[in-house]
Amino acid sequence: MEREGTIAALAALAQETRLDIFRLLVQAGSEGRAVGQIGEKLGLPSATLSFHLSQLKHAGLVTFRREGRSLIYTANFAAMNGLMAYLTENCCGGDASDCAGGAVACDPFNNTGIKEGSSV
């Protein structure tokens, strides 16, 4: 992820509702959640939810697909991992072994957020 993308992603996540939405979608993994489920879970009206999902989409943090009449939103794990990589790129002077066990990447299929082979 480049500097401009990082700034856009951090700006999108620097708002309480969008951060809650993004975390909910990360928890949902690769299945994602329907718009109605997101709104219900977080108690958000449709117009508010639509605005915040649009902001997250514009920042490249979420994607969506259509299933019948439903829109299913999913966290963009590649973008999230790119953001984390950018932020930790020079961690501990470039020696990632000093940084709490090295870099952690989220695999939505593993759904733990812990790099395989790492100990907790």
Domain ranges in the chain are 3-76
Q: Which run of H or E residues covers position 85? A: helix 77-88
Q: Distance from first CA to last CA of the chain, Å, rounded? A: 27
The pLDDT tens digits for 44-95 are 999 999 999 999 999 999 999 999 999 999 999 999 999 998 888 877 776 6
pTM score of the predicted model: 0.80
Mean pLDDT score across all residues of the chain: 86
Spatial separation of the C-alpha atoms in residues 46 and 28, rounded to whole Å: 20
Q: CA nearest 58: which of 107, 11, 25?
A: 11
Which tokens is 17 given?
């509702």
State in words which class domain 3-76 has.
Answer: mainly alpha
Q: Which has the higher per-residue pLDDT, 111 or 93? A: 93
